[in-house]
Amino acid sequence: MTLIPSILSVPPSPGVTARCAEARAIVLSNMPVNGEYRLLTLDAPAEVLDCAPGQFFQLLCPVPEGEHPFLRRPMSIYGYDAHAEQLQFLYKIAGAGTRGLATLRAGDTLNVLGPLGQGFTMPDAWQNLMLVARGVGLATLAPLARMAQQQGRSLTAICSARSPELAMSVDLFRSYGAEVIVVHDEDGSSEVPALEALIEARIAAGSVDAFYTCGSRRLLTMLQRLGQKHGIPGEIAMEQQMACGLGMCQACVRPFREGNEVVHRRVCREGPVFPISEAIA
268 is in an annotated binding site: yes
242 is in an annotated binding site: no
Residues contacting 258, CB < 8 A, separation 6+: 278
Amino acid identity of 95?
A: G
76 is in an annotated binding site: yes
Taking the C-alpha atoms of residue 57 and residue 119, their distance in angstroms, rounded to an integer, is 12
74 is in an annotated binding site: yes
146 is in an annotated binding site: no
Cβ proximity of 45 and 23 under 8 Å = yes
97 is in an annotated binding site: yes
**Phi, psi torsion values for 73, nearest 5 degrees:** -105, 115
249 is in an annotated binding site: yes
61 is in an annotated binding site: no
Which residues sit in the known binding site? Answer: 73-76, 97-98, 244, 249, 252, 268
Which residue ranges make up the annotated binding site for [2Fe-2S] cluster?
244, 249, 252, 268
Binding residues for FAD: 73-76, 97-98
